[in-house]
């Protein structure tokens, strides 16, 4: 887990230029900074800025494509059992069939990328305070670094449970080079503390360039409180904290629901409207395979070099939406046909409902290189966090109904009213599945509630042993991911999760 310093400097430069919408070429780093020590590098304000800019690569953790349609967000949405894969990835099929083992590259990719980012964040947090620079800028940069560390640990602790808790820079002589796993409760304490520090860092309320904002910090903190109120910690008092923090985001009025679902996947609305936090992409700097991943396998409707068919919603899930839901209409959240790229007068019928909410029309029909942002947090999730958390903290309130019904109203669904606590909970959970569909949220909901959506019978059931429409009965061990085999091979202080 030692820090690759040459990687840090190059990553920092590229990430900074991405945020400034400029290009990044290898010649920019030909001064061979691999010979610079950690301490010597952090001496100026520009170096501090570059180091923090480099941390923004960490936000792309869900979108690293390893070939054959394998991407972290795809894997996360295959596990709940409401999607299939039409491509050729054996690893995606292992996730669907729940035959995953700790050697699966999904597990190692998240682990390695997270700890690389944490190492860079720890270095920034340790070195920036000693730099002579504008104090307001220094506080802002540190706030962003604390947020990034919290963001990465939040993913690690949810996926792997107890994980090594590293808070200082690591080098080859560090006693923490081969760490043990720390209890989840301790990891969450650090996450909350880091986010509280970021919240007080004087960050802007919103940021239209994709940097961390106070709104993003509060939204993630509300998310963390909701998670810790559920399994495995079950800190019930945190429901009230989640509701309070979510309300601060809602009441600030800095974000608003889009009037058109198409805005969720076009370039014109990046970092605007209901988007609270996105991982940034731009042509010539960083691209991704988000759009080609959702197109059914080689149907021939785009200029992408591949149409992976990596994640295809099941018909049963699609049919679980209420009658008249706008999101199920053609080219809203889903689409089942599209003009052929070779002959636009002909329409290709997919025979399935693919995810239009990720189909980037401009690049699919244009240059064949996808650069849509990946959304990490958007306003509907915060609204639903408030609705769920306030209900769990007492009972459905008028404000909780207002959040839920605003999302339903946009989908052309009637308002709900007069529900008891249990029925309101179910309504919110369903709305999370339907509004946040295939946004890498459902698996984490399963972990914290131990419930899953039985879409065939339209109810929530105990996840353990439940056989979803994708075919596999959910095994308890898959409530966590396996510690990567390679990590255990390198560090005999690490233990494996049960069942692996």
Q: Within a 10 A sphere around the Cβ of 450, how many other Cβ atoms?
A: 15
CB 135 within 8 A of CB 169: no
What's the Rg (C-alpha) of the chain?
Answer: 22
Domain ranges of the chain: 1-182+439-500, 281-372
Give residue-wise pLDDT tens across range 468-477.
998 889 999 9
Mean pLDDT of 122-134: 97
Q: Lowest-confidence range among 82-96, 337-351, 376-390, 466-480?
A: 82-96
CA dihedral sign, ordered 203, 209, 212, 216: positive
pLDDT at 284: 87
Query: pLDDT category, 176, cuts 50, 70, 90?
Result: confident
pLDDT at 172: 81
Q: Which residues are 453's β-sheet partners?
A: 460
pLDDT at 87: 77
pLDDT at 130: 97
Mean pLDDT of 413-419: 98
Query: pLDDT category, 33, cuts 50, 70, 90?
Result: very low
- The pTM assigned to this predicted structure is 0.92
Task: Give which of 150, 144, 149, 260 is closest to 209, Cα–Cα.
Answer: 144
What are the phi and psi torsion angles at 401 (to 5°)? Answer: -60, -40
Give residue-wise pLDDT tens across range 354-363.
999 999 999 9
Give residue-wise pLDDT tens across range 295-346.
999 999 999 999 999 999 999 999 999 999 999 999 999 999 999 999 999 9
**pLDDT score of 222 more than 90:** yes
CB 173 within 8 A of CB 125: no
> In sequence order, which residues have a C-beta less than 8 Å from that of residue 418 and are 6 or more positions away?
none
What are the phi and psi torsion angles at 84 (to 5°)? Answer: -125, 175
Query: pLDDT category, 39, cuts 50, 70, 90?
Result: low
Task: Give which of 442, 466, 439 is closest to 454, Cα–Cα.
Answer: 466
**pLDDT score of 205 more than 70:** yes
**pLDDT score of 36 more than 60:** no
Distances in Å between the Cα of 275 and the Cα atoms of 209, 215, 263, 402 are 11, 10, 10, 20
DSSP E strand boundaries for 136-197? none
Q: Within a 10 A sphere around the Cβ of 139, how many other Cβ atoms?
A: 17
Mean pLDDT of 253-277: 98
Give residue-wise pLDDT tens across range 91-118.
999 999 999 999 989 999 999 999 999 9
1-182+439-500: what CATH class? mainly alpha
Q: Average pLDDT over the chain, rounded to whole?
A: 92
Mean pLDDT of 67-73: 87
Give residue-wise pLDDT tens across range 41-53.
789 999 999 999 9
């Amino acid at each position: 887990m030692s820090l690759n310093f040459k990687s840090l400097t190059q990553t920092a430069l590229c990430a900074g230029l991405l945020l400034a919408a400029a290009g990044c070429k290898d010649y920019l780093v030909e001064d061979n900074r691999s010979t610079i020590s950690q301490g010597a590098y952090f001496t100026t304000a520009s170096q501090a800025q570059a180091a923090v800019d480099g941390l923004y690569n960490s936000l792309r953790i869900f979108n690293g494509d390893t070939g054959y349609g394998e991407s972290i967000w795809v894997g996360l949405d295959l596990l709940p059992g409401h999607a299939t894969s039409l491509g050729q990835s054996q690893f995606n099929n292992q996730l669907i069939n729940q035959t995953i083992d700790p050697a699966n590259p999904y597990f190692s990719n998240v682990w390695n990328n997270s700890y690389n980012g944490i190492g860079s964040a720890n270095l920034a947090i340790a070195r920036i305070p000693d730099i002579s620079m504008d104090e307001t800028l220094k506080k802002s940069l540190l706030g962003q670094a604390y947020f990034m560390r919290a963001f990465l640990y939040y993913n690690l602790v949810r996926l792997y449970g107890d994980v090594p808790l590293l808070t200082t820079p690591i080098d080859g002589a560090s006693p923490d080079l081969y760490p043990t796993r720390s209890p989840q409760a301790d990891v969450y304490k650090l996450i909350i503390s880091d986010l509280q520090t970021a919240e007080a860092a004087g960050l802007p309320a919103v940021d239209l360039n994709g940097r961390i904002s106070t709104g993003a910090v509060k939204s993630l903190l509300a998310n963390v409180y909701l998670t810790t109120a559920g399994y495995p910690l079950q800190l019930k008092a945190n429901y009230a904290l989640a509701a309070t923090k979510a309300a601060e985001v809602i009441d600030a009025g800095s974000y608003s629901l889009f009037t058109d679902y198409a805005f969720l996947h076009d370039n014109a609305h990046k970092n605007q409207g209901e988007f609270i936090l996105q991982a940034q992409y731009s042509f010539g700097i960083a691209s991704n395979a988000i759009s080609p991943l959702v197109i059914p396998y080689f149907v021939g409707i785009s200029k992408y070099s591949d149409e992976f068919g990596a994640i295809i919603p099941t018909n049963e899930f699609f049919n679980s939406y209420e009658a008249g839901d706008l999101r199920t209409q053609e080219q809203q959240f889903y689409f089942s046909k599209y003009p052929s790229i070779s002959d636009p007068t002909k329409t290709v019928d997919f025979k399935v409902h693919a995810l239009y909410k990720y189909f980037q029309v401009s690049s699919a029909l244009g240059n064949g290189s996808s650069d849509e942002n990946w959304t990490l947090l958007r306003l509907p999730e915060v609204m639903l966090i408030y609705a769920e958390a306030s209900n769990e903290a007492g009972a459905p309130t008028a404000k909780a109904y207002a959040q839920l019904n605003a999302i339903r109203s946009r989908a052309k669904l009637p308002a709900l009213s007069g529900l008891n606590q249990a029925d309101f909970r179910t309504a919110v959970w369903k709305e999370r599945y339907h509004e946040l569909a295939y946004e890498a949220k459902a698996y984490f909901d399963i972990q914290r509630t131990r419930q899953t959506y039985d879409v065939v019978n339209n109810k929530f059931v105990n996840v353990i042993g439940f056989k979803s429409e994708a075919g596999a009965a959910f095994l308890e061990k898959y409530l966590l991911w396996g510690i990567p085999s390679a990590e255990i091979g390198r560090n005999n202080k690490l233990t494996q999760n049960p069942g692996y």
